[in-house]
Structure 1
């Protein structure tokens, strides 16, 4: 398992971390937003390095961008003793780690997540990959970073919408593993919270699950609660004027999959109401046209938890207790989407 460092002074801690590392060259991968807003926070702690920046956004998490990264690595004669720092959000960590893991059959990399979403979720656990032909995270590998450096200092650089997107994964961690944690999370003034404490608890929950099931053969599937429908919605609207941030789509996914939990695992109606009220209070409601249902369900069938033609979901027995490999039929997914559409904010 990767080394995780929680930092309050990222430039100093990064300098100290790199001082104790042996490597031939240092390469840094960032996106066009991160180089502007986050690079100044770490630049003082960086020795000589080569920098590559790609265009920001999920839409660029693809093979074309990977080719640019691999070409940059090749042009700079990176050998297998090179160390890569992925500084940025989930797209940077996923794609930078994937490129490092496949370049010359694998070179070392370290993740420095700069968004709440990447700090509590994407940077931990060794899932790496890219989107392919509209399917999210369709091509990828499991490979652990050598280390992860997490600092709440980066959160001050985020627009509120990005902070809220990451908050969806925080709420998910409470739902699947810790009811008291879920109940402690704010819906009013949610922006003002002890983020360092929240990040550490969420990382602890994810790490405990991943330690027990690194390759997602069983228990780790619970981390995908809200993601079967959520990823499908995110993918469907990715190249449209209605594009959603990851957390916005996952919030819809958690409401709809809580409904499925009530239907298939007898999640108490009181818990269903609490979940949808908390999520709608933070994320509001986005109408999904019933004309889009078929396309969304078709994307659900591309979910990596599925077994053949069966739709496999991770669903809640109660808040804090999640089960996996629950088979759900197409009609129930339609019912769940209709349930969401009929809710009042």
Structure 2
């Protein structure tokens, strides 16, 4: 796979990526290197990484607890303290080795420590390969509210090694697939069709194109002033559902992709009611999503708490919930609005 060039950093693939990593580390003569892992990547991914990483710089490993529930300021404080105790300075480097939680949090830790030190992203999940590791968004959650605290900061490079995907459960693979589906519906319908029509599709073949799409969007709109909002297709309702299931002790937490998949079904329904998106395609989306992800039951008593969480979406303006909606596949509208009743109808449509 060919290297993809973002505005200020490269995205390298496979064996070439490790060669480029060694080169960047040597050229920058870092005083120390901090490799951030979680419980899972320390066991499953770190051995492969360290076997392929050539450097003479001192290395320290910092481990955090795995899971979205730990993506918060408290975890950051723990990492900042550990780095300080281990002698980190402004010439230190942070390497994030993990999924979206670790990539978001690790980038935020690095970009704020001593007003900002270099970091490199090595995503180890499908979700983080095609989404979190690229685009310069870093941050943590505020309670159950997703990604409320953070900064835009670009890594020195991104290293994509699909071999790490062999460490994932089928559920985590499905979670990452939702972001590829998102790119398919908004930018390249081939991606959606490949997944919809072929249950045994080789997802590795779709990673490069997915990253290309995200990179094209964020290069044009790095700070999400306009076009970049399209990357939130399915995420407005999806994030609210994800947060609700995360905070409710009587619910099993959903993965990010599972929640976003539900969000795409709901937002397709809203699109059919307000943007002329065909009901046939809306039903096609619902059928494909439920075939891949099964059905999550959203009870009547769940609806109002989900509606309350929608009020905190980052795209909102003056208290009004803003959506990305579809006129057609590959034809989207940003900053669209929908009534509360229509949002509730969309949840009922998903439930049918």
CA RMSD of aligned residues (A): 1.5
Q: Secondary structure at the match of 1:287?
A: coil
Tell me the equivalent position of 1:136. Answer: 146
Distance across 2 between alignment mates of 1:10 and 1:153: 13
Distance across 1 between alignment mates of 2:54 and 2:246: 35
Tell me the equivalent position of 1:204. Answer: 212
5+ residue gaps, structure 1: none
Which one of 265, 273, 296 corresponds to residue 283 of structure 2?
A: 273
Alignment check: 8 A CA contact 1:187 1:281 kept: no
Alignment map for 1:122-271 (pairs within 5 Å): 122-186=132-196, 188-190=198-200, 192-195=201-204, 197-239=205-247, 240=249, 241-271=251-281
Tell me the equivalent position of 1:341. Answer: 351
**Residues 290 and 122 of structure 1: CA distance in aligned 2, closer, same or farther (over 3 Å):** same
Alignment check: 8 A CA contact 2:180 2:191 kept: no
Distance across 2 between alignment mates of 1:88 and 1:161: 16
Distance across 1 between alignment mates of 2:168 and 2:316: 34
Alignment check: 8 A CA contact 1:310 1:328 kept: no
User: 1:288-316, CA deviations, whole angstroms, 9 ceiling, x for partnerless residues?
Assistant: 01101111011111001111121110011
Tell me the equivalent position of 2:340. Answer: 330
**Correspondence 1:90 to 2:100:** yes
Alignment check: 8 A CA contact 2:18 2:159 kept: no
Tell me the equivalent position of 1:105. Answer: 115
**Post-superposition offset of 1:14:** 3.9
Q: Secondary structure at the match of 2:160?
A: strand
**Post-superposition offset of 1:16:** 4.7
**Post-superposition offset of 1:187:** 5.2
Tell me the equivalent position of 2:4. Answer: none
Distance across 2 between alignment mates of 1:180 and 1:243: 31
Alignment check: 8 A CA contact 2:32 2:93 kept: yes
**Post-superposition offset of 1:270:** 1.8
Alignment check: 8 A CA contact 1:8 1:152 kept: no
TM-score, normalised with respect to structure 1: 0.95
Distance across 2 between alignment mates of 1:16 and 1:155: 25
**Post-superposition offset of 1:22:** 2.5
TM-score, normalised with respect to structure 2: 0.93
